[in-house]
Each structure stands twice: as C-alpha cells, then as structure tokens.
Amino acid sequence: MTIVHNDNETILGRNEINDIDAILAIPNTDPNEVEHIVKNNADSIFTWDYSLSRPALRKLYEKAKVGQWNATTDLPWTTDVDIERTLAADQAILGTGFDASLYADTPVAKWGEKEWLNFGIEGRNWQLSQFLHGEQGALICTAKIVETVPWYDAKLYASTQVVDEARHVEVFARYLNEKLGGSYQVNAHLRMLLDDIINDSRWDMTYLGMQVMVEGLALAAFGFLHQTTTEPLLKQLLRYVMSDEARHVAFGVLSLKEVYDGMTDAEMKDRQEFAFEAAVRMRDRFMQQEVWERQGVNMKDIMPVVLNDPTRGMFQTMLFSKIVPNCKKLGLLDRNDKWLRRRFEEMNVIQFEDWVDTGEEYNAFALDADQAEHAVPVAGE
C-alpha cells in the first residue's frame, strides 16, 4: 500500500507542468543582491567508527587525491577570447539551437544573423553564469555532506569534493570576469532548487538533489559544450572540471544505492517527488528567461513557441542523459507503481534509461584517460 500521492500543486506549486504564467510568476533574482541566506536544517554527525567499511568510496577518495589540479597554473589563461568570433564559429557548427521558421508570429521574426549572434553571446554568458552559481551550490552542499553524512569513508571523500568545487567556482568566475566581462545573476528556478536542497534536513536529499540531479545535468551539459565549442580555453577548462564532476556523480550514486535499497515505499516516494521537482526546476531554467528579457523580448510572447520548438527540445532532453540512468540505478524510476518513470515519460526524457550510469564511469573521465581506449564519453556518443 502506498501513501496518498501528492499532486503537482504540492510538489511544484502549480498543477500543469507547462503553466507559463506560473513559471514566469517566480521573480528574477535582484541584480543588486550580494548575499542570499538559506536555513540549513540538518544535524552534524560525528562517527567513532573509523574502519574501512565502504571500499568503493575509499577508492574514489584515493582517486580524488591524485586527480587534483591547479586552476591557476594548469589552464592557459593567456588565451585571447574573442567572444563574437567564438560564437560565430560555434553557431556555424551547431546553429542557434532554435528553429527560426517557427517564430514567424513572435517578436523575433525579424531577427537577422546579427541578432541571433548577439542572443548566442548573451546565452553563453548566461549559461556559464548558471554553471558558476550551481558550482557554488555544490560547494555549500558538499561542505554540508561532510557534516551530515554518518559514514567515515563518505566524510573523507566529500572533503575532497569541497576542494574540487572551490576550484570550479574559481574557474567559472575567472572566465566570466576576465574573458566575458561580467555575469548574470542566478536564475530564479535554479535558486529555488538550490534552496530546497540546502533546506532539507535529510542527508541523503543533499546527495540526491546535488550529486545526482544538479551534477548529473552539469556533467551532460559540460560534455556537450566541451565537445562543440571552438574556444580552446573553455574547452580545456571544461575537460578539467568534468574529470572531477564524474567522480562527484559517482559518489552520489554509490552512496545512495546502499541507502535506497533499504527504504520503504513511503520513503522512496519522497525521493521520487524530490527528483521530479528538481528535474522540472532545471527544465524551467532552460527557458533562459533573463536572456530573452535582456534582448527586449517579452517572455509571454516567446515562451509558448520555445516550449514547442523541437530543435530546442532536442538540446534540452540531451541534458537528462546522465540523470535518468542514474535514477534507474538507484531504483527511483519504478518504485510506487513506476511513479518517476511516468513523470519522465511526460517530460520526454525516459529514452535515456538504459544509457551508461555514472557509478563506474568516472575512470573514463580521468585527465590521463584521453589516451586510453575509452576517451571522454559525452552525451550523444
């Protein structure tokens, strides 16, 4: 017997997943805001059991210690980045990400090459800005895990991830500041998600929200941009970040597998709902609200078309290529009458369920793996 299912209203604050008014009703972050305070409701746990009881996590810890790099000296910061030339070259390969023919009745119908290029430049800045804010979320979440996880091996590993995330915040902040000349505030939907993750008192929810959902998406997004951008500094920066990020997702999958295997249906339902909420919040953020607005486009005019643009949809679904197999591995898809599977079907991302999960995949992302047989697997391969 499963508990009474909460509906979308309870989980998302709206009944209809594509309710445009409700999505747009969440206010953008104040551009002048410097500090954002979130209540962290969790207990800090000491453990006196220092025995090696989780060898897989200890192995990851050993990998992390030798996988460290120095953002200051290992990346070619002297690279001259001409963002206009970069985006023109990147768009020549990928297009704008939109099917322009669908926008005949919208304010962007008259956009020519110049406007789309400008949108691409702003979009790149916005995307890297969201990576930056997400990295700070990871830094805070992982510091929290050091305190809240009851396992010795996990505390050791998480401490290395704190340093990794500091480095990631460092490289994205520096790239935005030195090469792109500024950044966007955190997107409202991403901010809500990060707040929810940090707010939750249950230690496994930090892992689920951050290591599985946010970092799972990041790993796919970094992989896609790494593979497609022509800008050499960004390419290398992403390659380095991904070598860490794959370990982080593996940390989430390995830790949660053990916990979730022993959970009741009711406990699993909470996790399924949280995974669903996270997936929708991330999807809402892909609307790039602030970028359209900075270009003078009213979101209400453009959003119905963007939501139904298959080109855009294709790029967006690829971002779930790591999340879905990892949720499957954790048993989240099919518990409680396939609850999360149904939701992922509605979101049109279930097709990734049998793609490789990240529990073991991290070795292929290691910095010395480029010469190995299986170099950097990314979304789409």
Task: Check binding of 226 to Fe ion (CB under 5 A).
Answer: no
- Nearest to Fe ion of 120, 137 (CB atom): 137
Tokens of 26: 């969440």
- Nearest to Fe ion of 237, 340 (CB atom): 237
Task: Check binding of 191 to Fe ion (CB under 5 A).
Answer: no
Tokens of 185: 């505030």
CB 290 within 8 A of CB 185: yes
Stretch touching Fe ion by CB under 5 A, among 21-29, 42-50, 163-171, 309-317 = 163-171
Taking the C-alpha atoms of residue 132 and residue 168, their distance in angstroms, rounded to an integer, is 8
CB of 92 to Fe ion, least distance (A): 29
Which of 54, 133, 248, 341 binds Fe ion (CB under 5 A)? It is 248
Stretch touching Fe ion by CB under 5 A, among 46-54, 131-139, 194-202, 267-275 = 131-139
Task: Check binding of 318 to Fe ion (CB under 5 A).
Answer: no
Stretch touching Fe ion by CB under 5 A, among 173-181, 215-223, 297-305, 369-377 = 215-223
Task: Check binding of 328 to Fe ion (CB under 5 A).
Answer: no
Residue list 265-284, contact with Fe ion (CB under 5 A):
none
Task: Check binding of 322 to Fe ion (CB under 5 A).
Answer: no
CB of 153 to Fe ion, least distance (A): 18
CB 188 within 8 A of CB 86: no
For the chain, the C-alpha Rg in angstroms (whole number) is: 20
Tokens of 131: 């990576």
Q: How many CB atoms lie within 10 A of CB 201?
A: 12
Cβ contacts of 230 within 8 Å, gap of 6 or more: 86, 89, 90, 93
Q: What is the DSSP string of 202-254?
A: -HHHHIIIIIIIIHHHHHHHHHHHHHH---HHHHHHHHHHHHHHHHHHHHHHH
Task: Check binding of 138 to Fe ion (CB under 5 A).
Answer: yes
The residue length of the chain stands at: 381
Q: What is the DSSP string of 14-50?
A: -SSTT-HHHHHTSPPPPTT---------PPP------
Task: Check binding of 247 to Fe ion (CB under 5 A).
Answer: no
Written as one letter, the residue type at 159 is S
Task: Check binding of 133 to Fe ion (CB under 5 A).
Answer: no
Stretch touching Fe ion by CB under 5 A, among 90-98, 183-191, 239-247, 318-326 = 239-247
Which of 168, 247, 271, 329 binds Fe ion (CB under 5 A)? It is 168
- Nearest to Fe ion of 129, 289 (CB atom): 129
- In this structure, is the dihedral angle defined by the CA atoms of residues 14, 16, 20 and 21, taken in order, positive or negative? negative
- Nearest to Fe ion of 165, 277 (CB atom): 165
- Nearest to Fe ion of 141, 306 (CB atom): 141
Residues that bind Fe ion (CB under 5 A): 135, 138, 165, 168, 215, 245, 248
